[in-house]
Amino acid sequence: MAKKEAVVGHWGKMASSMDIVTKLLLAALFGGLIGLERESHGRPAGLRTNILVCVGATLIMVVARSVGSGVVDPGRAIAGVVTGIGFLGAGAIIKMGNIVRGLTTAASIWLVAVVGIAVGEGLYGVAAGTTALALFVLVVVDRLSQAIPAVSYHTVRVSAPEGELTELEEACRRVLEEHGLRVLATEVRAEGRAWELSFHVRARGIPPVIQVVRDLGQIRGVARASWEDFRG
């Protein structure tokens, strides 16, 4: 009887070990698929990072379940993974002037960690479906978004040493609107008889900066026109 129990226990341990290995391999596969897409775009958090994050999250859940009898609460383990991965994601975000890059990569790292949690909990279908959905967003939706002209905000400044303000403002607005720019607000500063007008505009697609500045400079009374990108 004791021998039979020992054999059952042995096979139980082997089955448990195989289950853990399966989970880790699946985590490496799911994380690798998303990481491969990020690697193809030259992102700093690429193939290896995503595999390690997914495998690590899975292993944490496996360990939490193994010692879950009052030692480690799986719910707290999940919260720890989701919160802790934010530090790694923050490292992937880069701000260069008014351009922020890495937000999608940071979101991918966070999602990969959640996929690893799902694998660790044995939710293989959920993990596979989430991975497929993530790849759809990263590949297909990315191409669709590139086909949509981006919206950008700018400030156009016009200096005029003389001239009637109303006529000058209307002429400048007409030029801006002819080039597809929408004037959101106008600021006027007077220095004696000289005027400085600042037009805050919104552009869709690539704005014709050189053409706009040149046409504004040809307005009667305008001494100088300049273009500035909005910095938030």
105 and 191 together in one domain: no
- Alpha-helix residue ranges (DSSP H) falling in the chain: 2-40, 47-66, 74-91, 103-120, 124-135, 142-146, 165-178, 209-217
Distance CA 71, CA 61 (A): 13
Tokens found for residue 91: 């490292």
* Identity of the residue numbered 7: V
9 and 68 together in one domain: yes
Residue 197, classed as helix, strand or coil, is strand
170 and 117 together in one domain: no
31 and 129 together in one domain: yes
Overall domain count for the chain:
2
Q: Pick from 121, 146, 171: which residue ends a domain?
A: 146
Indicate the average pLDDT of the chain.
81
2-40 and 103-120 helices, crossing angle to 10°: 170
59 and 109 together in one domain: yes
Percentage of the chain surpassing pLDDT 90? Answer: 20
Q: Pick from 122, 146, 170: which residue ends a domain?
A: 146
pLDDT in tens, 128-168: 999 999 999 988 888 887 777 777 888 899 888 876 778 88
112 and 168 together in one domain: no
pLDDT confidence of residue 10: 45
pLDDT confidence of residue 99: 56
Name the least confident of 52-61, 68-77, 135-144. 68-77
Q: Pick from 146, 169, 190: which residue ends a domain?
A: 146
Are 168 and 222 in contact by the 8 Å Cβ rule? The answer is: yes
Residue 226: CB atoms within 10 A of its CB come to 13
Distance CA 197, CA 2 (A): 93
Print the domain residue range for 190.
Answer: 151-229
27 and 96 together in one domain: yes
23 and 137 together in one domain: yes
Name the least confident of 4-13, 109-118, 172-181. 4-13
Beta carbons within 8 Å of 82's beta carbon, 6+ residues apart: 110, 113, 114, 117
50 and 157 together in one domain: no
